[in-house]
């Protein structure tokens, strides 16, 4: 098998990259270890920045998103039983976010790739990368038990945090920067109309809680818990009781409904530098992880592949490697700003067990400041709706 760009992973990063390249006349093959059903049902992110919505629309997968996505012009920060709205629309000159599940984004992208005769190999096992430090890289894998070799010019490692691409790079060539948080999120999907028109981020003595949604009939809710928490210890009544307590607000009520999905996810901040080695380029969660508090993971993955697609296009157009050589440097400027924002949102909203009374008063002062100072609210808003995309031009 031969292609121009071999892409490992059919998450948002790999699929958006493949479709962007296709639209620029560049051929790619996507290798995915899971089944199509699995990647289409995985419950993950839900918040899309305007940049992401614009890009999905531009590449022709924005139609259902436009019809079914919920456009939100602000979020609520809740603490001490009071709600404070951060008005994105007013603060950022009309920007918004869109609530549309990652699984739906993935469905739309797979459909578009297949409709354009794109190749996605699902259930590709034993994926391994070869010769990516010279001109003729290849990816070996098994398909239905048969060994296959895919020869390509470039490899995009879009296989998430636990993938094979990052560990394939010789360790001395990489530096990893990491922070693991002493808590996790217990997330549920509940068949209940969202109890609020906008997302609610709640700070509470018992720990953080988040009210989000997927549709007008489906709520997505999260509770801060310990990383070692056993989900078996969280029967429905306990989850609802904790949500009622942590989300309490004068004159407001949380609507309950049957819980149809539940899971616990650990939280970390992680960046590997550089995000490239020879002809291998890492994008999305394969290169970095953010805690979900800023709703940035998917959006950052999409930003990486925009930069990568642009550099690859230039490489094929002019034979010039300049933008490819700068890929990591270009991405990391945005990555670190998003890391900072996600860390900051996490640090002001969660309960840290090592904190004392001083720290908790400091957190409340920070929330009071963010919700009463226009400058502080604007800083939150411009990061939440998404920093501008900086796509370099050849020669810059």
Which residue in 201, 203, 277, 327 is the catalytic one? 201
163 binds ligand RFL (CB under 6 A): yes
Residue 300 in contact with ligand PHB, rule: CB under 6 A = no
Q: Which is nearer to ligand PHB, 220 or 246 (CB)?
A: 220
Residue 218 touches ligand RFL, criterion: CB under 6 A: no
CA 102/CA 40 separation, integer angstroms: 9
Q: Which of 69, 157, 160, 291 binds ligand RFL (CB under 6 A)?
A: 160
Say if residue 23 is preceded by a cis peptide, omega within 30 of 0.
no
Question: What is the contact mask toward ligand RFL in residues 72 to 111, using x (rule: CB under 6 A)?
Answer: ------------------------------x---------
Taking contact as CB under 6 A, which single stretch among the options 55-63, 251-259, 296-304, 382-390 is the one that binds ligand RFL? Answer: 296-304
Does 11 participate in binding ligand RFL (rule CB under 6 A)?
Answer: yes
Minimum CB separation of residue 160 from ligand RFL in Å reads 3
351-378: string of b/e by CB count within 10 Å (b at 16+)?
beeeeeeeeeeebeebbeebbeeeebbb
Helix 327-349 × helix 297-318 angle, to 10°: 170
Q: For residues 207 and 292, which CB has a smaller minimum distance to ligand PHB in the complex? A: 292
**Per rule CB under 6 A, is residue 202 in the interface with ligand PHB?**
no
- The verdict on whether 181 is a catalytic residue reads no
Q: How far apart are CA 51 and CA 304, in angstroms?
A: 12
Q: In what order do the strands lie in the sheet with 74-79?
A: 82-87, 74-79, 200-203, 209-213, 219-225, 175-190, 259-273, 288-289
Count the Cβ atoms, other than its own, within 10 Å of residue 96: 16
Q: Report phi then psi at 393, rounded to 5.
A: -100, 155
Select which of 19, 72, 73, 204 is catalytic.
72
Task: Tell me the C-alpha distance between 253 and 184, whole Å.
Answer: 25
Which range binds ligand PHB by CB under 6 A, 39-47, 164-172, 238-246, 388-396? 39-47
CA distance 70 to 60: 19
Retrieve residue 145's tokens.
Answer: 């038990």
List, edge to edge, every strand of the sheet that includes 138-143: 125-130, 138-143, 146-151
Q: How many of the chain's residues bind ligand RFL (CB under 6 A)?
A: 36
Instruction: Judge whether 316 counts as a catalytic residue.
Output: no
Q: Which stretch binds ligand RFL (CB under 6 A): 41-49, 311-319, 343-351, 375-383?
A: 41-49
Q: Supply the residues annotated as catalytic.
A: 72, 201, 292, 296, 384
**Which residues sit at the interface with ligand RFL, rule CB under 6 A?**
8-14, 31-34, 39, 44-47, 102, 124, 127, 158-160, 163-164, 185, 187, 265, 284-285, 292, 295-299, 301
């Amino acid at each position: 098998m031969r292609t121009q760009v071999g892409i490992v992973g059919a998450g948002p990063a790999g699929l958006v990259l493949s479709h962007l390249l296709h639209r620029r006349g560049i051929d790619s093959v996507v290798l995915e270890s899971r089944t199509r059903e699995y990647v289409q049902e995985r419950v993950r992110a839900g918040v899309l920045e305007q940049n992401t919505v614009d890009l999905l629309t531009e590449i022709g997968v924005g139609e259902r998103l436009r019809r079914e996505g919920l456009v939100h012009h602000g979020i609520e920060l809740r603490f001490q039983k009071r709600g404070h709205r951060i008005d994105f629309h007013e603060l950022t000159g009309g920007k918004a976010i869109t609530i549309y599940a990652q699984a739906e984004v993935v469905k739309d992208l797979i459909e578009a790739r297949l409709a354009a005769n794109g190749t996605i190999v699902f259930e590709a096992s034993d994926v391994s990368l070869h010769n990516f430090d010279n001109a003729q890289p290849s990816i070996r894998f098994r398909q239905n038990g048969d060994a296959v070799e895919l020869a390509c010019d470039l490899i995009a490692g879009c296989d998430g945090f636990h993938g094979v691409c990052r560990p394939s790079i010789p360790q001395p060539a990489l530096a990893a920067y990491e922070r693991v948080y002493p808590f996790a999120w217990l997330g549920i999907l509940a068949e209940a109309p969202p109890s609020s028109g906008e997302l609610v981020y709640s700070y509470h003595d018992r720990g953080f809680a988040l009210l989000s949604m997927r549709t007008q009939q489906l709520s997505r809710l999260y509770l801060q818990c310990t990383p070692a928490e056993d989900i078996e210890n969280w029967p429905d009544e306990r989850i609802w009781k904790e949500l009622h307590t942590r989300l309490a607000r004068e004159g407001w009520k949380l609507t309950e409904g049957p819980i149809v999905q539940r899971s616990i996810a650990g939280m970390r901040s992680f960046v590997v530098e550089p995000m490239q080695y020879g002809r291998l380029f890492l994008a999305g969660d394969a290169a970095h992880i953010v805690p979900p508090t800023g709703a940035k993971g998917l959006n950052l993955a999409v930003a990486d592949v925009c930069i990568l697609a642009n550099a690859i296009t230039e490489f094929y157009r002019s034979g010039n490697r300049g933008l490819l050589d700068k890929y990591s440097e270009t991405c990391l400027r945005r990555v670190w700003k998003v890391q900072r924002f996600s860390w900051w949102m996490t640090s002001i909203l969660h309960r840290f067990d090592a904190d004392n009374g001083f720290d908790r008063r400091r957190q409340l002062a920070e929330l009071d400041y963010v919700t009463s100072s226009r400058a502080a609210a604007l800083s939150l808003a411009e990061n939440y709706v998404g920093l501008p995309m900086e796509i370099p031009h050849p020669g810059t």
